Structure 1
Amino acid sequence: MQEATGGIQLKMNFDAPSGNRFRQCLENGIFTVLFEHAAPGMELADCEAAEKLRRLEKTALEITELPCALALTDRYGSDKSRRAVDYAALLPEKSRNSHLVYLSGRNTDADGMRGMLAAAHSLNLANLVLVSGAVQGENHHELRKKSFTESTAALQMLREFTDNELFFAGAGVNAHYYSAPALYSSIAKLVKKFNRGAEFAVTQAGFDMAQLDALRTYLTRRGIHNPLIARLMLLTPDKVDKITLGKLPGINMTDDFRAILNKELRFSESQFEAAQYRRLELQAVGCKLAGFSGIQIAGADTPEKMQIAIKRIHRAFKEFTSFGQWVEEYKFYMARSDMAPSDQQFYLFEKLLENHSEEAALPQMAAYTLPAQNCWERFSSSARRFLFPEADKQPSRERVYWKKLLAGCRGCGECRLPQTQFYCPRLCPKQMCEGPCGELRDDGACIAGGGSCVHLNIWQEAQRRGEAYLLEGTAE
Structure 2
Amino acid sequence: MSELKQALHERRFVCVLEVIPQQSPARWSALEKVVQRGHLSGWPLLPAFADRVGAHSDLSPLDGAGELGHPASSLLHFSGKDRERADLLRQMASMKARGLTQLLLLSGDSLPGHHPGQAPVRYLESVPALQIAREYCPDWLLGAALNPFKYREEEAGAQYLKAQTKLLAGADFLTLQLGFDATKHIEAQAWMRAQVRTKPMLACVMRLTARRAAVLQDVPGIIITESMRELLAREEQLSPAYASARSMERLALQIVGLQLMGYAGIHLSGVHTLDELLSLEQAISEQRNSISSLSDWRERWQASWQLSGLPPVGFVPEAAVRETGQPDVAASRRERLRYTLLSSVHRLFFSRRGWLGRAFAWGVTRPLWKAGSAATVLHAVERVVKRPLFGCDTCGRCRLQDTLYVCPETCPKGLANGPCGGTHLNRCEFGDRECVHSVKYRIAKSANQLPVLAHTLIPCVEAAHRYRSSWPEWFEPEAPTSER
TM-score, shorter chain, exceeding 0.5:
yes
2:273 corresponds in structure 1 to 302
Long gaps (5+) in structure 2: 307-311, 353-360, 365-377, 457-482
Aligned identity (percent) is 24
Are the aligned partners of 1:78 and 1:136 in contact in 2 as well (CA < 8 Å)?
no
Code of the residue aligned with 1:168 in structure 2: it is L
Paired with 2:206 and 2:412, the residues of 1 have a C-alpha distance of 27
Are the aligned partners of 1:36 and 1:301 in contact in 2 as well (CA < 8 Å)?
no
Paired with 1:291 and 1:458, the residues of 2 have a C-alpha distance of 32
**Change in 2 beyond 3 A, CA 1:119/1:446:** same
Write out per-residue CA displacement over residues 259-300 of structure 1, whole angstroms, 9 at most, x where no aligned residue: 222222213222111111111112111111111111112111
Paired with 2:86 and 2:281, the residues of 1 have a C-alpha distance of 40
Code of the residue aligned with 2:55 in structure 1: it is S
For residue 344 of structure 2, the aligned residue among 348, 365, 386 is: 386
1:239 corresponds in structure 2 to 212
Paired with 1:110 and 1:408, the residues of 2 have a C-alpha distance of 25
Code of the residue aligned with 1:251 in structure 2: it is I
Are the aligned partners of 2:14 and 2:45 in contact in 1 as well (CA < 8 Å)?
yes
Paired with 1:86 and 1:156, the residues of 2 have a C-alpha distance of 25
1:452 corresponds in structure 2 to 434
Secondary structure at the counterpart of residue 307 of structure 1: helix
For residue 80 of structure 2, the aligned residue among 97, 100, 105 is: 105
Are 1:192 and 2:165 counterparts?
yes
Give the 5 Å matches for 1:275-424.
275-335=246-306, 336-345=312-321, 369-374=328-333, 376-389=334-347, 397=379, 399-424=382-407
Give the 5 Å matches for 1:16-415.
19-41=1-23, 44=24, 51-59=29-37, 61=38, 63=40, 65-92=42-69, 95-97=71-73, 99-136=74-111, 138=113, 140-141=115-116, 145-161=120-136, 163-165=137-139, 167-244=140-217, 246=218, 248-335=219-306, 336-345=312-321, 369-374=328-333, 376-389=334-347, 397=379, 399-415=382-398
Paired with 1:282 and 1:344, the residues of 2 have a C-alpha distance of 26
Paired with 2:123 and 2:329, the residues of 1 have a C-alpha distance of 31
CA shift, 1:109, in A, is: 1.9
Paired with 1:210 and 1:310, the residues of 2 have a C-alpha distance of 25
**Change in 2 beyond 3 A, CA 1:136/1:407:** closer
**Change in 2 beyond 3 A, CA 1:346/1:384:** farther
Higher helix share: 2
Are the aligned partners of 1:178 and 1:346 in contact in 2 as well (CA < 8 Å)?
no
Secondary structure at the counterpart of residue 128 of structure 1: strand
CA shift, 1:345, in A, is: 4.1
Are 1:467 and 2:462 counterparts?
no
Secondary structure at the counterpart of residue 319 of structure 2: coil
**Change in 2 beyond 3 A, CA 1:388/1:49:** farther
Paired with 2:8 and 2:204, the residues of 1 have a C-alpha distance of 16
2:461 corresponds in structure 1 to none
CA shift, 1:141, in A, is: 2.1
Secondary structure at the counterpart of residue 434 of structure 2: coil
TM-score (norm 2): 0.81
Between the two proteins, the alignment pairs up a number of residues equal to 428
Paired with 2:120 and 2:331, the residues of 1 have a C-alpha distance of 35
Are the aligned partners of 2:19 and 2:47 in contact in 1 as well (CA < 8 Å)?
yes
Code of the residue aligned with 1:58 in structure 2: it is Q
CA shift, 1:66, in A, is: 2.1
Write out per-residue CA displacement over residues 160-206 of structure 1, whole angstroms, 9 at most, x where no aligned residue: 21x532x1000011111101111111111111111111010101111
TM-score (norm 1): 0.83
CA shift, 1:435, in A, is: 0.8
1:10 corresponds in structure 2 to none
Paired with 1:274 and 1:64, the residues of 2 have a C-alpha distance of 18
Paired with 2:41 and 2:300, the residues of 1 have a C-alpha distance of 27
| Greater alpha carbon shift after TM alignment, 430-439 vs 310-319 | 310-319
For residue 426 of structure 1, the aligned residue among 399, 406, 409 is: 409
Long gaps (5+) in structure 1: 1-18, 351-365
Paired with 1:309 and 1:100, the residues of 2 have a C-alpha distance of 22
Code of the residue aligned with 2:388 in structure 1: it is L
Paired with 2:186 and 2:90, the residues of 1 have a C-alpha distance of 37
Are the aligned partners of 1:134 and 1:439 in contact in 2 as well (CA < 8 Å)?
yes
Paired with 1:56 and 1:425, the residues of 2 have a C-alpha distance of 43
Structure with greater Cα Rg: 2
Secondary structure at the counterpart of residue 104 of structure 2: strand
Paired with 1:23 and 1:345, the residues of 2 have a C-alpha distance of 39
Paired with 2:68 and 2:176, the residues of 1 have a C-alpha distance of 25
Secondary structure at the counterpart of residue 340 of structure 1: coil
1:5 corresponds in structure 2 to none
CA shift, 1:404, in A, is: 1.8
Paired with 2:253 and 2:119, the residues of 1 have a C-alpha distance of 40
Are the aligned partners of 1:192 and 1:473 in contact in 2 as well (CA < 8 Å)?
yes
Are the aligned partners of 1:188 and 1:471 in contact in 2 as well (CA < 8 Å)?
yes
| Greater alpha carbon shift after TM alignment, 209-218 vs 385-394 | 385-394
Secondary structure at the counterpart of residue 171 of structure 1: strand
CA shift, 1:96, in A, is: 1.6
CA shift, 1:62, in A, is: 5.3
| Greater alpha carbon shift after TM alignment, 308-317 vs 24-33 | 308-317
Secondary structure at the counterpart of residue 320 of structure 2: coil
